[in-house]
Amino acid sequence: MKLAVILPAAGLGTRMLKGSVPATAESSGVSRKQFMLLEGAPILVHTVRKFVASPLVHDIVVAVREEDIEWVREVLTPETKSLLGELKIVVGGQSRQQSVEHALAALDDDTDLVAVHDAVRPFIELDTIRRVVEEAQATGAAIVGIVPVDTVKQVSGAQAGGAKVRSTISRERLVLAQTPQVFRVDLLRRAYEMAAADNFIGTDESSLVERLDQVEVSVVMGSERNIKITKPGDMDLARLFFEQEQH
């Protein structure tokens, strides 16, 4: 079984305030969250380290903006020396979906499984990686998810203001999707081909695969620690989690 990990990291992260970003990673005054420094290293580096530490991972493919390729290669090459395979840096697209599509095209022909993971989820646990990969190996498609703890309401009207509650949704049948999302390579490629033909834009890789006939996506329970760093306030929690990991 040959597993490749795709990390889409071409986003601008407009919800993150400009702050602790290496000067070589700045573009047009926008701070990209994947390059924000967490205890001295970019968040992307922390995420890569987790997958390098997994004995299941063969290749890592990172999709970034073209102007960041050389800087990212310089930063990540020392971190990936122990990989079974190789580090590949590709040009990302204007959207996450395009970035993953570009990364898929860079996979070796003999790759069996592909895991897509948010570049800004640096606290994924090795056991979670193992469990979701094993499930995908058995079933073809698996994602990490957690059960919501808050009550979920269906509303009408604008969510920003003026929304009215229409129903309360049972949490028994809900999960909050996280990453990694792991698939047989042929399934994910087929899903992307169908999405392109239909001009369908999904919110994650699973939303594309779910459209395929006779394909069910399994869910492996994850952890609330597997946070996606998207807002300035998330950095405080990330620093706490990082400190806990060091003990």
Q: Say which DSSP state 30 is in.
A: B
At residue 172, the pLDDT reads 86
**Is the distance from CB of 127 to CB of 134 less than 8 angstroms?**
no
Mean pLDDT of 183-210: 97
Kind of pairing between the strands at 3-8 and 113-116? parallel
d(CA 220, CA 237): 24
Q: Residue 153 pairs with which residues in a beta bridge?
A: 168
Mean pLDDT of 165-175: 91
At residue 238, the pLDDT reads 94
Say whether pLDDT at 65 is over 60.
Answer: yes
At residue 23, the pLDDT reads 47
At residue 194, the pLDDT reads 97
At residue 17, the pLDDT reads 47
pLDDT, tens digit, 9 for 90 and up, residues 12-64: 654 554 555 554 555 433 346 788 899 999 999 999 999 999 999 999 999 99
Domain 3-245 has CATH 3.40.190.10: no
Burial class (CB in 10 A: 0-12, 13-18, 19+), 83: middle
Lowest mean pLDDT across 88-102, 159-173, 197-211: 159-173
pLDDT, tens digit, 9 for 90 and up, residues 80-106: 999 999 999 999 999 999 999 999 999
DSSP string, 148-172: --S-EEEEES-TTTT-EEEEEE-GG
Confidence of residue 7 (pLDDT cuts 50, 70, 90): very high
**Is the distance from CB of 84 to CB of 188 less than 8 angstroms?**
no
At residue 239, the pLDDT reads 94
Mean pLDDT across the chain, nearest whole number? 91
What share of residues in the chain are helix, strand, coil (percent, to 5)? 35, 25, 40
Say whether pLDDT at 110 is over 50.
Answer: yes
Domain boundaries, the chain: 3-245
